[in-house]
Amino acid sequence: MNALRNLLDKIKPTFSEGGKLSMFRSVFDGFETFLFVPNSTSKSGAHIHDAVDSKRIMIMVVIALMPALLFGMYNVGYQHYLSIGQHEVTSFFEIFFYGLLAVLPKIIVTYLVGLGIEFTVAQFKGEEIHEGFLVTGIILPMIVPVDCPLWILALATAFAVIFAKEIFGGTGMNIFNVALIARAFLFFAYPSKMSGDSVWIRTDSTFGIGEGAVVDGFTGATPLGQVAVSTGSEAQITDALGNASSIWDAVIGLVPGSIGETSVIAIALGAILLLVTRIASWKVMLSIFASGALTAFLFNIAGLDNPVANLPWYYHLSLGGFAFGAVFMATDPVTSARTETGKWIYGILIGFMAIVIRVLNPGYPEGMMLAILLMNGLAPAIDYFVVQRNVSMRAKRAKIQK
Amino acid sequence: MGLFSKENRATFLAPLGVNNPVTVQVLGICSALAVTAQSEPALVMGFSVTIIVALANVIISLLRNTIPNRIRIIVQLVVVATLVTIVSECLKAFAYDVSVQLSVYVGLIITNCILMGRLEAFAMANGPWESFLDGLGNGFGYAIILVVVAFFRELLSAGTLLGFTVIPESFYELGYLNNGLMLMPPMALIIVGGIIWAQRAKNPELQD
């Protein structure tokens, strides 16, 4: 630790104003504050500093995402070996290694593009580097299908960072969740690479690993995709080989889907860390799950002739991006409602909208992305009305005392 | 005052740049989003609006001293509606395919804010020649933005320009894909926003 500190202190003058590499001073500053909590304090006015600064919060969120990411890598490999009929003869590490090779390029591409833009903007404006992309860059590869090409991922990252974040003023000023804007961009711009049956499971080899022919009877649709296209009132969910899947497959996460969203258990581990460290709001998470369950349950007993409406409510909560969105994306402190009452309203409406979109819109098997983006847009309005109501209540109280 | 005096040239040139009706005054956005999915309708639309603004400006300018102030909007609307109907019928007669693509948006030129804005702000107070130049300038200023937006939208959403394939087949074989979002109006708004951004970054006097 001390050696690192000394090294930083030694090279600092080179990057300071007038030094040889002063054009990279924002980059240096970014890394220095990433490694060590800055010890500078405000010079004027009275300020309250939290002991945990935003870089430390971001790192904690990245740690919370790790179980879902690692499991996602394993699942990518598992689905691949399942599709070529070798999942029983392949070792655990080989399966994981395949997934690692498939997912790692996505993470590298998003970080290169996103941080490249952030560093350029920061240097250009002479500001500090914002830390927000740390989380966005790891979430984005987790919410796309494994066969989403790298170049459109790079394009979506650039679009989202510029149009959803930088033009609003950078980290902390964005109205919409940046990773979700990138996903929405991909979803509407390149629907053939973001939905359908052929992108969720990689059937080809990756860097020469995992050669094999796809088995007969292979289907690559996600559980929600299967439900959406099934006929009759009850849907049968199957895995890639056509065997029936149970709710446990969805809870453990061995189903096709976006890379990081499949495992409820891995997401729950992350959720516990976020709740214990009080980074995410338990009110938002709880209200999303509660209202999602209630809405799905009401559709269950409504007796509609629609397989998505008849999908049991616990399936709705564990399939698709519902859990991932509720834990990691809706709770984003920048884009969610800020007032405590507002958080309940915000969460309840997200859970409700997500299920309603799934059930009533046959075009979109998954509704979580659109529900969160919609409520991101409404969150400031919710806060406004909560604050106004408080103001009018207190004004009434003040009158009585007169 | 000469026909091409300094003021008259400024009347014509300002709407093309620093006083553009779309990017600076933010008028006529609705049709800019609706007809720019392809270049051909955008060109025709820009051309139609240019003709209508220029002629309406001249007519209103000639009538400006005889129009009672209280009914001037009605008079302006009658003139504009007549011109729009004539242009619409001409399109149907000579460019039927494009008029089908443009559908209601030709008729809706009547409600284009640029028209009423120019008539009220310029033609009611200036002579016919100046009004003609002002109408041409504003029409061209509008058309330029439409064509630029349509250029990007058609190129990226279909790989074509004016219906001709521009992006070679070998690109698609390498994995290039058309961008479906470019077909949707929100993307036109973002492109217009990008143009406004670039223009204001270049002209500090436009920044507020």
Q: How far apart are CA B53 and CA B45, in angstroms?
A: 12
Are B182 and A151 inside 8 Å of each other by CB? no
Report if residue B41 sits inside a domain. yes
Which residue on chain B is closest to A150 by alpha carbon? Answer: B175
* B 130-189 residues inside an 8 A Cβ radius of A: 175, 177, 179-182, 184
Look up residue B82 and give its two tokens.
């007549």
Provide the whole-model pTM.
0.85
Query: Which residues, including other chains, have CB under 8 Å from residue B59's CB and lie 6 or more apart?
Result: B79
Tell me, yes or no, if A190 comes closer than 8 A to chain B by beta carbon. yes
Q: Residue holding tokens 């040889």?
A: A20
Look up residue A201 and give its two tokens.
């499971």
Are A190 and B177 inside 8 Å of each other by CB? yes
Are A188 and B182 inside 8 Å of each other by CB? no
Are B181 and A167 inside 8 Å of each other by CB? no
Of B177, B181, B182, the CB nearest to A193: B177
The tens place of each residue's pLDDT in chain B, 208 residues long, gives 577 788 888 888 888 888 888 888 888 888 888 888 888 889 999 999 999 999 999 999 999 899 998 998 999 999 999 999 999 999 999 888 888 888 788 888 888 888 888 888 888 888 899 999 999 999 999 999 999 999 999 998 888 888 788 888 888 888 788 888 888 888 889 999 999 988 888 888 877 7
Report if residue A80 sits inside a domain. yes
- The predicted pLDDT at position A374 comes to 94
Are A189 and B182 inside 8 Å of each other by CB? yes
Which residue on chain B is closest to A191 by alpha carbon? Answer: B180
Are A193 and B197 inside 8 Å of each other by CB? no
Report if residue A72 sits inside a domain. yes
Q: What sign has the CA pseudo-torsion A9, A10, A11, A13?
A: positive
Report if residue B208 sits inside a domain. no
Which residue on chain A is closest to B197 by alpha carbon? Answer: A167
| CA distance to partner chain A, nearest, from residue B192 (Å) | 13
Report if residue B11 sits inside a domain. no
Q: Are A279 and A57 in contact (CB under 8 A)?
A: yes
Report if residue A46 sits inside a domain. no
Q: How far apart are CA B40 and CA A280, in angstroms?
A: 51
- The predicted pLDDT at position A308 comes to 82
Q: What angle is formed at CA B34 by the lines to CA B30 and CA B39, rounded to 5 degrees?
A: 125
Q: How far apart are CA A101 and CA A76, in angstroms?
A: 10
Q: Which residues of chain B are within 8 Å of residue A163 when distances are taken between CB atoms?
A: 190
Report if residue A30 sits inside a domain. no
Report if residue B10 sits inside a domain. no
Cross-strand pairs, B164: B161
Report if residue A311 sits inside a domain. yes
CB environment A146-156: b (16+ within 10 A), e (fewer): bbbbeebbbbb
Q: Which residues of chain B are within 8 Å of residue A190 when distances are taken between CB atoms?
A: 177, 179-180
Q: How far apart are CA A137 and CA A159, in angstroms?
A: 13
Are A149 and B181 inside 8 Å of each other by CB? no
Report if residue B2 sits inside a domain. no
Report if residue A12 sits inside a domain. no
Straight-line distance from the first to the last Cα atom of chain A, in angstroms, rounded to the nearest whole number: 62
ipTM: 0.82
Q: Are A142 and A65 in contact (CB under 8 A)?
A: yes
| CA distance to partner chain A, nearest, from residue B52 (Å) | 36
- The predicted pLDDT at position A19 comes to 65
CB environment A276-305: b (16+ within 10 A), e (fewer): eeebbbebbbbbbbebbbebbeebbeeeee
Which residue on chain A is closest to B182 by alpha carbon? Answer: A189
Range of the domain at A309: 54-390
Element (H, E) at B160: strand B160-161
Per the structure, the count of domains in chain B is: 1
Are B177 and A152 inside 8 Å of each other by CB? yes
Of B177, B180, B197, the CB nearest to A188: B180
Are A188 and B190 inside 8 Å of each other by CB? no
Are A192 and B177 inside 8 Å of each other by CB? yes
- The predicted pLDDT at position A402 comes to 53
Report if residue B14 sits inside a domain. no
Look up residue A37 and give its two tokens.
């909590």
Q: How far apart are CA A10 and CA A41, in angstroms?
A: 22
What 3 state SS string does B23-91 have?
CCCCCCHHHHHHCCCCHHHHHHHHHHHHHHHHHHHHHHHHHCCCCCHHHHHHHHHHHHHHHHHHHHHHH
Q: Which residues of chain A are within 8 Å of residue B190 when distances are taken between CB atoms?
A: 163
* B 187-206 residues inside an 8 A Cβ radius of A: 190, 197
Q: Which residues of chain A are within 8 Å of residue B182 when distances are taken between CB atoms?
A: 189
Q: Which residues of chain B are within 8 Å of residue A188 when distances are taken between CB atoms?
A: 180-181, 184
Average pLDDT of adjacent 10-residue blocks, chain A of 402 residues? 77 70 68 71 73 80 92 91 82 89 92 89 77 86 90 93 87 89 91 82 78 76 80 72 79 88 92 91 93 92 81 86 92 90 94 91 83 94 95 84 54
Give residue A296's Cα distance to chain centre.
22
Report if residue B175 sits inside a domain. yes
Tell me which residue of A171, A125, A154, A199 sits closest to A335, measured CA to CA.
A171
Per the structure, the count of domains in chain A is: 1
Q: How far apart are CA A142 and CA A251, in angstroms?
A: 17
Report if residue A25 sits inside a domain. no
Q: Residue holding tokens 């006529």?
A: B28
Which residue on chain A is closest to B180 by alpha carbon? Answer: A189
Report if residue A45 sits inside a domain. no
Q: Hey, which bits of A328-396 come out as E strands?
A: none
- The predicted pLDDT at position B1 comes to 57
Range of the domain at B23: 19-203
